[in-house]
Amino acid sequence: MSQTEVTMKDFRVEERPTWCPGCGDYTVLAALQKAVANLQLKPEEVVLSTGIGCSGKLSQHFGSYGFHGLHGRSLPIAQGVKIANHKLTVIAAGGDGDGYGIGMGHFIHAMRRNVDITYIVMDNNIYGLTTGQTSPTSAKGFKSKTTPAGAAEDPIRPLHLALAQGASFVAQAFSGDVKEMTEIFEAAIKHKGFALVNAFSPCVTFNKINTYDWFKEKLVKLKDKEDYKPKSHIEALRYIDQYASLVTGIIYRQEGRKAYHEEIMGASEIPPVDADLMISEEEKIKLLSPYQ
């Protein structure tokens, strides 16, 4: 191993995570550390933005630049970072409540802009940090503190939404398979454009329905399906629909589309810092005087 080779250890921090033992979020953290190391990214080249929830702690435990923001707001921060310095590798992460509840508007707009970021949604079908309430991806009939008689609504279908919106990379992973999750994270980070990875990350403490065993029994691996060669978003959508979206793998990847910063800036240069932000009030007055 050369001295300069980046390893997972470069993305570790001293503080131990406080997630419950067995929480799927540990695998997401390990897979992400492995993915960026495999891509030989340096910690100072990576920014991870998170929202609120157990998932939000990811940025505290990942040894890169990070921003732990407000509920549902990991995407606005990530998009701002990428536009300000698109040489950085920018990753946003959050939970199903964070991203598909309060953050839903940001999700749709980030996809239509094709901002060159990776968005990892740690989907455990429940609100974990607040001790177990029905979330946007909980199944109809799901019983929790907030829906003791069972959820009345159909769940959000994030993969359908992403495909219908024309997201340029759509994938799904499972915390019970760290190898496949790592491969998917690597592909998502390498993709130029918006990459959604819905990552099933079981909440072992509060969700006794969507457990590791439940997912292992139901999930279908797309890489084992020889007939899976979708030529369009709609073909991909129809295919995964027959499995009720319980699939893992890269569902659709669209190459060659311009990323948002290329659309608005054209060149690949980092935009200059606004001089107004760097000078004193007196200097500003002097600068403006020719026009007054």
Residues at the contact surface with ligand SF4, assessed by CB under 6 A: 19-20, 23, 25, 54, 124, 128-129, 203-206
Q: What residues contact residue 266 under an 8 Å CB cut-off, 6+ apart?
A: none
Residue 5 has a CB neighbour count (10 Å cut-off) of 9
Cα separation, 214 vs 210, in Å, equals: 6
Min dist. Cβ of residue 126 to ligand SF4 (A): 7
Euclidean distance between CA atoms 25 and 278, whole angstroms? 40
Give the shortest CB-125-to-ligand SF4 separation in angstroms. 10
Nearer to ligand SF4, 93 or 203 (CB): 203
* Listed residue (32, 267, 142) closest to 10, CA to CA: 32
* Cβ-based nearer residue to ligand SF4, 76 or 176: 176
Give the sign of the dihedral formed by CA 157, CA 159, CA 163, CA 168: positive
- Residue number, 142 or 194, with CB nearest to ligand SF4: 142
Q: Which residue number, 175 or 182, has a Cβ lying nearer to ligand SF4?
A: 175
Distances from the Cα of 88 to the Cαs of 64, 118, 140, 158, 169, in angstroms?
A: 11, 12, 40, 26, 19
* Residue 102: CB minimum distance to ligand SF4, A: 17
The distance of closest approach from Cβ of residue 36 to ligand SF4 in the complex, given in angstroms and rounded to an integer, is 22
25 vs 116 by CB, closer to ligand SF4: 25
Separation of alpha carbons 109 and 166, rounded Å: 11
Q: Give the residue with the Cβ less far from ligand SF4, 27 or 64.
A: 27
Residue 277 is classified by DSSP as G
Q: How far apart are CA 54 and CA 77, in angstroms?
A: 18
Minimum distance of ligand SF4 from residue 103's CB (angstroms): 17
Q: Which is nearer to ligand SF4, 32 or 240 (CB)?
A: 32
Instruction: Quote the least distance from Cβ 130 to ligand SF4, whole Å.
Output: 9
Distance in Å, CB of 174 to ligand SF4, minimum: 15
Q: Are 200 and 174 within 8 A, CB to CB?
A: yes
